Every structure is written in structure tokens, then in C-alpha cells.
Amino acid sequence: MKRALKHYLHSLKIMLGAKPDKPAKSDYSEAAIALHKFKQTPAERKIRREKIREELAEKHVSYKWRKWRWTSIILINLMFVVSYHFDVQLVEGALTASRFFGFHMADLNSSLQITLAQKTIVTNLVIGVVTVAVGWWLVGGRNYCSWACPYHLAAEWVEMLHLKLVEKGWAQDIPLHRGTRTVLYVVFAALAFITGFTVFEFINPVGILSRAFTYGLSLALVWVGILLLIELFFVRRFWCRYICPIGITYAFIGSTSPTVIHYDLNNCLHEGECRSVCLVPHVLDMTIKGRATDVTMDIGADCTRCGMCLEACPTGALSFKVKGLGGLL
């Protein structure tokens, strides 16, 4: 229990921007220490090298998780468009605040900004927050980012092009400190409270895109274009990794979710394929050889549940799991 609590708190630190360092010797369970030693024996190292060689020779990725996520994002946002333009009254509003069949739903971060700005608690907002919080808590992590956010989809497409430009030397990837996002989280909250104005919502590309899809184009899309150009030529995933406070809000809510991506040290080859496709590779630090502090572990709070690592891992070391029900995928 003590080790699990320490792992949970460590995952929150990483989510807030801390660098995942190698654990202290006292952090490892006896089973993990024994397994790490066993994997270092000549026979096991030879077997692992052969398995990695076979894996690379037969490597095939169908990107099914990516297709499911993209479909989810498109369908969720399409509901707003169809409801408004065809007067279906299925979903009214935008991702920041809406009504689903008349029932209030509110984005967690937007609601926090509004509450701080107005310095009062609105009943309908509370209802909407609780509904959304429970829903995203059940699916866990920063699931909202990779399965619902329209800017995330645009940024993912831009990232694919960015990587090709980097290979050709036409773009660069300037790493920033992930803790910047945490600092800005506090700054935006403080600005809302001090000014009485939701500053973040004015520059939030998620709300801008959601409203543009439903109600029509606006000049605010120029700002979205500027962000995407920064991500294309200079900083990979600039907004999502280093600026956006929305991910932090959902990460806190989903950090105790029963739905997790589960890691099994027994099956891991430590070849790094999972980290190469992960949208937030720092959450998979335990897959680095010698880093796992226990034989089985849950991936941390900053995980977007994108599912890319599940397909990249050839040995089933990573899987979706609902606590109390066991593995799903």
C-alpha cells in the first residue's frame, strides 16, 4: 500500500512537470529486484535480443487505436454541428458548456475559470461539472484530450507532418519544460479571480474550434492557426504539452480512475516501441530497463489513454484494465 501511494504521488509530480528519474533502491519491491536481476543473466539477455530482432522483422502497426480515437473526436464534435444546423436538439452549446438532452454538462476547466471570475457558484454549473467529472473519471486519465478534444486531433495531424519536416531538416523540435503548463494553470486561475474575466477561454483553441464548427468561422481561428504553425516548425505539441491547463484538470480527476493502462514487467522486452508512439512518453518511464519498481504497475495520471502503446507492444506487457474486473485488451 505504501509503495502504491508513493507511485501515485510520483505520477502526480510527473504530471505537473517533474522529470521521471531512476527510483531509489528502497523503492523497489523484492519481486521486482529479483526479476530485474534475472533479466540481466546472459541467457535471458540473449533471448531478449532474439525476440526484439524477430519483432522488428515482423513489425506491423494497423493504428486501430488511432482510428478509433479520431472517429470518437469527430463524432463527438459532429453531434454539436448536427444538433445546431438541423435543430435536432441532441446536444446544445459547445464542448466548454452544453446540454445533452436538456441535461447540463460543463467542461471542468472552463467551469473553474468561470467560478473564479464570478466568485460565485452556479447550480447548473455544479450539475454540469459533476456529470462530466464522473463520466471522465470512469474512463480515466486525460482521456478527454485524446478522445474528445478537436484541437488534439488537429495537433496530431500537424505532429505527423512536423516529424517529416524534422527528418528533412525543414523544422526543429525545441523542447520546453513541462512544468510551464503547471505555472500557467495557476496564472490563468489567478487572472480569472483578479480580473473577473476568463482570460484562458479567450485564447483556448478547444473552445474556439468547437464554436467555429457549430456556429461558423471567426477571426479567433487565426490564433489557432498560429499555434499550429508553432507546432509544425518549432515546438512539437506546443499547446498540449506545455501550455494547456485542461489536461491537468482532467488528469487530477482521472488519476484515481478504475480504468487504467496496466504494465507487466514479466512480459516487457524494454525495446522502447511503446515510448516511441506514446503521446506523453514520460508516463511510460517504467518500461525503461531497470526502472519498474514493481512487477505490475498502473500507468500514471498524465496518460491520455490513447492506446497507441498497446498496439506497439508485441508481448502484451501493456493492457487496458478495469480494477476489479481484470484486463480488457
Q: Residue 290: phi, psi to the nearest 5? A: 90, 0
Strand (E) or helix (H) holding 326: strand 326-327
**CA distances to 51, 266, 295 from 159, in Å:** 30, 33, 34
Say if CB 114 and CB 188 are below 8 A apart.
no
Banded model confidence at residue 48, pLDDT cuts 50, 70, 90: confident
The last residue of a domain, from among 252, 274, 298: 252
Range 21-50 average pLDDT: 87
Tell me if 65 is assigned to some domain. Answer: no
Q: Which amino acid, one-letter code, is at 40? A: Q
Range 155-162 average pLDDT: 96
Do residue 172 and residue 233 come from a single domain?
yes
Tell me if 158 is assigned to some domain. Answer: yes
What is the pLDDT at residue 281?
92
Do residue 318 and residue 188 come from a single domain?
no
Do residue 174 and residue 319 come from a single domain?
no
Say if CB 298 and CB 5 are below 8 A apart.
no
Please tell me the distance from the alpha carbon of residue 41 to that of residue 194, in angstroms, as a whole number.
60
Do residue 263 and residue 186 come from a single domain?
no
Res 22 pLDDT > 60: yes
Tell me if 66 is assigned to some domain. Answer: no
Do residue 125 and residue 48 come from a single domain?
no
Do residue 283 and residue 224 come from a single domain?
no
Do residue 97 and residue 214 come from a single domain?
yes
What is the pLDDT at residue 135?
87
pTM of the entire predicted model: 0.90
Do residue 98 and residue 234 come from a single domain?
yes
Domain of residue 33 covers 2-60+258-327
Banded model confidence at residue 42, pLDDT cuts 50, 70, 90: confident
Do residue 203 and residue 274 come from a single domain?
no
Say if CB 181 and CB 244 are below 8 A apart.
yes
What is the pLDDT at residue 58?
67
Hey, CA dihedral for 9, 280, 248, 177, is it positive or negative?
positive
Range 40-64 average pLDDT: 77
Average pLDDT over all residues of the chain: 89
What is the pLDDT at residue 230?
97
Place of cell 523497489: 28
Place of cell 480527476: 253
Q: For the ranges 133-137, 169-173, 204-208, which has the lowest average pLDDT? A: 133-137
Which has the higher per-residue pLDDT, 210 or 94? Answer: 210
Do residue 88 and residue 192 come from a single domain?
yes
